[in-house]
Structure 1
């Protein structure tokens, strides 16, 4: 009971308190890539911890596995993980809930991926039919003959991915601003930001109703744009990218392709302020290293808590009676 209670508390801290803390933290603005690692780790660790709670509550499969893997005495395993509180009704309910959760996550993931691919395929078809290749250094960029300024990318394989600019964007921006905009979209493709967004959407749809990880999807969309901004700013400067973003946002009728990573997506006003006022973190590699340490610690906790009792009774299956606390005559 202690193990299950500890894991339940840990899941609550991650899914509720951790979610709220990360959503309000100011350091994520300075290190969006490190923040993305921490967000995804919190989400995946939350799911793993909830799964551990359900598996331990269901108890039968877990106890048999511990007996086999650790060569442990079954009565001792049962006493450590179930004890006197265990009831068959609770165990059966946990088993059903675990299976239902697995099916729900699978259905949501398949549905979200299919919708995403359908949208990407539609925009890719339109782009290939109507767009032309750009001139000079933009020869790998597709240009749509549309007066409305827009810039977005279509995720896919190396051959099927596209970066798209409209004629309106080319007319509005300077050559330097266009290059910065293209670099921003290249960052989305290079770092597979669309996959991170899909993952966050699926998890939030599955557990957000409970109050856990309710900020996850929105924050991932926010942070991938900041991460792409940072990547582009390395080559073209923060102010060049900020001015390009400002120009794109201030033109009436600006629109991007629905469901695709776009230059003006996810709170452009905050991004412009950040590009103008924020400076690269002076922590160098310290912050990413701290984030990596936090990631490792978060992942280790559920496994450690779940397996620690089993380790204490390893190799007790054929132990003499005194090992089980039974006095010898």
Structure 2
């Protein structure tokens, strides 16, 4: 009989609670959390208030879901104790300590994943599996939304996502688009960034970013990010000599156009990308097959381009 996995959370904000809830509902696991606040979590998960007591729990894996600027410090403490790592995206808002972390991961043969959940979205999965990118020469990606509506009931101005000093801002929050561009089109060799504030949102972090990039296979891409728009949009358009393929992430639809006409529309089944991601990670804890995970090394490649 397989040993029941012990999972230790560092941070139980909205994303941490989402992962914890899915783990509780779908896996035979024992959950605990290290907290620095006195507020009790909504799931009734056991809480520790000191690092010593948290690691005495002897976790198999840690879910690092605290603010971005604390990710590497937390992951290092876990890696030193041979605890496998699930790190919420982005990996960090700085590169300090990451080479040491990678060294510990290699030394202890740790399963490690940076939680770019968009890789597990049905549209991105379909594009990766079914569209041959060999002849693709250009891609245009847009991710546009309205930040004050992200977390209902919470003052957006007090969120770490709004605070540049805590790793907030549109680049770090929407870095998914950079990751799935690399996932679909190959590593980014060159990246040019224009970013700043143009809206009246009361935040200290950038609210828009425009990326121009070139990938190892020669494809060039443009990625446009913002979180000031009252029109939600999340699409990737891929240009070939004979067609355009559009992945609409919000509609969960792939469309193929030829000669400016819609030739084919593929409506994809509704899937929970967060659950898909957890299934892959929990499977890797058993098999140590990390081929379908986004490693810290991969997350580091993106981070180095941004710093």
- TM-score scaled by structure 1? 0.21
Answer with 1 or 2: which has the greater Rg. Answer: 1
> Which protein is richer in strand relative to its size?
2
- TM-score scaled by structure 2? 0.22
> Which protein is richer in helix relative to its size?
1
Higher relative contact order (CA 8 A, sep 6+): 1
